[in-house]
Amino acid sequence: MSTFGTAEVVDVTAISRWMDGLADRWGRRALFPGSPVERPGPQAVVDVSGEYVGEIARAPADVWAHLSTPASHFGARDGFVLPGPGPERWCLLKEVAGGLVGSVADVTEREDGRRIVLRIVGAETTWLWDWRVFDAGTTAAGPSSLVRLTVTAAMRARAAEPAGRGLTTAAQRTVTQVDHLLTGAPPPPPLKGEGARASEHALEHRAKAPPTRSEIDVQVVVPLPVDEVWRGVLDASTYTVDAAPGERAGVVPGTPPGQPGELRYVVTALGNQRIVRFHEVIAIGPGHRLVLRHQSASHPTESVTTVSSHPDGALVRIVFEVLLHEGHPPAVDEVRAAFLAHLARLSEELVRRAGADPEQPLPEP
């Protein structure tokens, strides 16, 4: 994970851009096999769809239970529903270059037991995955279901025909994979060159020179009592470093809030895409001291936040590790500015909460 120090932020940003570029290149190669990977210029965009219907020897309820679970989609290692008001959103966790990163899927339509539509927004393309489940009756082998997957994407008009074939192939492979997971049927064959590319990327990553480490130190005085500020620091919702506009951090369900082992998530903007970064609570104490390990980078780093008494209230100080990889421009000032902005927002939020209801300070974690 990342520590959001010079090294941390630089590393996370680089990984995020690499992820986005990799996803873009994969999509183009999958949809346009053998075509050059060029950046598209201004041109007409149309909606293109591919569809596949497969029979799965399981009851519709079993198939639906699988499809309605976030961790079942897009090769996720795990997943959960992002808490909060508004339309249902999923976080799909994956390991990328040694770090833990999440993608965001919006559930745009749901008919329990029958249909679910997922929307993935990338840097250039919006994808809709429309799953439908039908009861195919009972055979001698037991209950059976028909599963129809329609994949729709906004594509360049001149590539609509090959894109449609690619989307049909993607739908077929995905339904086949679900059949494999639910019944043990043969999985889809690996994509051509997929294993070789994965090995090549792994070797390149391991061959990189180890990063250099340094530290950045930032602080702010919050005009509130130490205990109240400390409760705010322990509240994951006040963690704003790298959060996308309008997004608030939270605790990954199933992890212990306010205790070591808590995993915080932050929804971050990457162009017009949303990704999720993770920060694990490693230690609390001694005293008013919080250690976070930033897990969304190839080299996890740590930050230490302390709260101490100050004549004007409480001093909040963050010392964080910075990792600088060879070939990446140092962005110490940018990272320091990001953390200073976080501290400013933290102070404003805690003062706002205290003023909104002075009799109700922040709850105990």
Asked if residue 322 is part of any domain, the answer here is yes
- Three-state DSSP state, 15: helix
| Within a domain: 248 | yes
How far, in Å, CA of 21 to CA of 315, rounded?
41
The tens digit of pLDDT for each residue in 203-252 reads: 555 555 666 777 889 999 999 999 999 999 999 999 998 888 888 899 99
Residues of the chain under the 70 pLDDT cut: 1-43, 122-125, 192-211, 324-331, 357-365
Domain that holds residue 188: 45-194
The neighbour count for residue 322, using CB atoms within 10 Å, is 25
Q: Are 122 and 243 part of one and the same domain?
A: no
From 161, 194, 227, give the residue that closes a domain. Answer: 194
Do both 190 and 262 map to the same domain? no
C-beta neighbour count of 193 within 10 angstroms: 10
pLDDT, residue 284, reads 96
In a domain, 295, yes or no: yes
Q: How far apart are CA 220 and CA 46, in angstroms?
A: 50
Whether residues 185 and 276 share a domain: the answer is no
Asked whether residue 186 falls in the same domain as residue 212, the answer is no
Q: Which two tokens stand for residue 173?
A: 């492979």
The per-residue pLDDT for 262 is 95
Pair 294, 44: CB distance under 8 Å: no
Residue 34 domain-assigned (yes or no): no
Both 174 and 248 in one domain: the answer is no
Average pLDDT, whole number, for the chain?
80
Give the tokens for residue 316: 């909040």
Question: Domain for residue 148, yes or no?
Answer: yes
Neighbouring C-alpha atoms within 13 Å toward the C-beta of 2: 31
Q: 85 with 175, same domain?
A: yes
Same domain, 224 and 260: yes
Domain boundary among 194, 224, 258: 194
How many structural domains compose the chain? 2
CA–CA distance, 64 with 133 (Å, rounded to integer): 7
Are the C-beta atoms of 2 and 12 separated by less than 8 Å?
Answer: yes
In a domain, 23, yes or no: no
Residue 69 lies in a domain: yes
In a domain, residue 263? The reply is yes
Q: Residue 57 belongs to a domain with what CATH number?
A: 3.30.530.20
